[in-house]
């Protein structure tokens, strides 16, 4: 099964600063995932990024995790988030994972 992660920085591509509260970005992320009807989870992390012009910046970053999502849907989600969050780009990583569910009985 494929695990995909999409890294979305929260600093605006023009101002290089975060324009909105993190909760606003989380709300957009949730809305996008629900509209595509994909199972998802996410984390908020801090990271660094090198812009196309070579400038380095540190920023808050949302990491969206998708397990078993169709690659075409992943690309659409990544493109939407790039536009909605006004980013120069977003990073997409993929890899194979073993995944299974565990249930418990009381």
The pLDDT value given to residue 51: 79
pTM of the model: 0.91
The pLDDT value given to residue 106: 74
- Cα–Cα distance measured from residue 100 to residue 91, given in angstroms and rounded to the nearest whole number: 26
Q: How confident is the model at residue 92 (pLDDT cuts 50, 70, 90)?
A: very high
The pLDDT value given to residue 76: 97
Give how far the C-alpha of residue 35 lies from the chain's centroid of Cα atoms, to the nearest Å. Answer: 15
pLDDT in tens, 32-84: 999 999 999 999 999 888 877 888 989 999 999 999 999 999 999 999 999 99
The pLDDT value given to residue 52: 79
Domains of the chain: 2-96 (3.30.70.120)
For the chain, give the mean pLDDT: 94
H or E segment to which residue 61 belongs: strand 56-67
Q: How confident is the model at residue 87 (pLDDT cuts 50, 70, 90)?
A: very high
Quote the crossing angle between the two packed helices 22-36 and 71-84, to the nearest 10°. Answer: 150
């Amino acid at each position: 099964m494929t695990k995909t992660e999409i890294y979305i920085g929260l600093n605006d591509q023009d101002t290089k600063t975060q324009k909105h509260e993190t909760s606003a970005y989380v709300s957009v992320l949730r809305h996008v995932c629900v509209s595509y009807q994909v199972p998802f989870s996410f984390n908020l992390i801090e990271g660094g990024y090198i812009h196309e012009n070579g400038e380095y910046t540190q920023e808050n970053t949302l990491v969206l995790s998708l397990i078993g999502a169709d690659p075409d849907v992943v690309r659409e989600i990544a493109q939407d988030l790039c536009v909605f969050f006004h980013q120069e780009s977003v990073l997409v990583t993929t890899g194979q994972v073993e995944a299974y569910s565990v249930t418990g009985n009381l």
